[in-house]
Amino acid sequence: MDQLYAYLPGTSHRKELTPANIAPVILCYYAHAVLAILPGTFWLRVALLPVSEWLVWNSGVTLDPAQYLANMFGLSNSLRLSFFNFTFALAMWAIGLRCFEWTFIIDKPLRRYELPLDFEKKTRKERPLTIVNVLVDGVDLIFNFRGLGWAWSSEPFYVDPNPPLSIPHQFFKLLVKIASLDAAHYIATLILPTAYRLEGDTIFDYTLDPLQHFVRVLSISVCGLILIYSTVDIMYQFSALTGQIVFGQSLTQWPRIANRPWLAMSVTEFWGKRWHQFFRHLFVVFGARPGRKVAGWYGSVIGAYIVSANMHIVMLWGLGRGTEWLHTGGFFIMLAIATIGERKWKEWTGKPVTGIIGTLWTTLWHLVWGSGMVDAFVRRGMVANDFVPKQMRIGKVIVDSILTVVARVRAG
């Protein structure tokens, strides 16, 4: 399988992303969204699709957003910002799939609902197709991956059971997540200083005694999971604050993106309910539905995880040092096996995987198989990124303060 991804183009020829050379992709993406809303536009979408997909591919393999940001902030080395190339590869992957879906997979125009005054009532009234509404809804659609407010979503009006947070509370939450990300990143570099090298390093060292080796791999893997979770939450929280402050949106339009995944008592619960559901629709459309036609429920599970695996492989490629299937894709295959195993367990015993044993099982399965994926990212320089500017390294200050106190206590 890795040989297949060897055919992905190299990244040494990338050029700086600019507003001018990314604009064609955005315009085509927006045009697809508008056409997907309007009836009778199938052949227009078919005609536009080859142009859109070529622009997505060409931009994904030739543009370098990290270099653009480095120049913007006066930084001499863009390699410490390769994380933005990682997310850019993800964005191009998602845009390409959505344009394809809006051309061939949807069976009717996509319609947006009027936002109800009371979300509890979940009133579903389609917005009229006025010129202004279509143009505005097109903008919403290109950013709306969860289907909030749209008829294509199974839950267009999600009601968060928790009371809405105030703007100051949301800012505080954002700072906590930034500190968490920074602390996890800093601790990983303390445990494995060579991981901060641009060429990366492996988290596995079999010259260490087994217990020391296990603790190191476990600690770095936990840091990696915290870093990933915090990064997604930070981007979403920042977007939510922008929507509310700049565009006057309600917090009900920004329900939380994840539901405390550390409380999951099964692998199924972790990925089906508690981890962020941002790309769930794409996994269903391009993985679960085709898989179900081939092999029923088992095929739907495997199909969804395979699409997720390929998404992460593309993201890994975006870092600029190649990619691989074995550890990155293999992690998601093992998640599919665990999900199927949990269903079989319930069939055999009549009891679901839950409770303390379920939490231990879920944690162990993720850490054992997730360590390989974490290693793949560390070896390709993910930890060498500067996720937080030096002036905002709250987590580093906290960790250093704790270590100083511990050292003084130990010294007597």
Query: Are 149 and 253 spatial neighbours (Cβ–Cβ below 8 Å)?
Result: yes
- The reported pLDDT for the residue numbered 325 is 86
pTM (predicted TM-score): 0.94
230: left (phi over 0), alpha (psi -120 to 50) or beta: alpha
Question: pLDDT (tens digit, 9 = 90+) per residue, 33-56?
Answer: 999 999 999 999 999 999 999 999
Closest CA to 324 of 390, 379, 247, 405: 379
Q: Which pLDDT value is given to residue 230?
A: 95
How many angstroms separate the CA atoms of 287 and 154, rounded? 17
> What pLDDT is recorded for position 18?
95
Average pLDDT of the segment spanning 103-129:
85
Confidence of residue 5 (pLDDT cuts 50, 70, 90): low
**Per-residue pLDDT tens for 127-169?**
999 999 999 999 999 999 999 999 999 888 877 777 668 899 9
List pLDDT tens digits, range 80-103: 999 999 999 999 999 999 999 999
- What 3-state class would DSSP assign to 158? coil
Contacts of 99 (CB under 8 A, 6+ apart): 28, 29, 32, 49, 52, 53, 56
Taking residue 177's Cβ as centre, other Cβ atoms within 10 Å add up to 21
Residue 4 has a pLDDT of 53
pLDDT tens digit sequence for 290-346: 999 999 999 999 999 999 999 999 999 999 888 888 889 999 999 999 999 999 999
Are the C-beta atoms of 275 and 260 separated by less than 8 Å? no
Cβ-Cβ contacts under 8 Å for 309 (sequence gap 6 or more): 325, 328, 329, 331, 332, 333
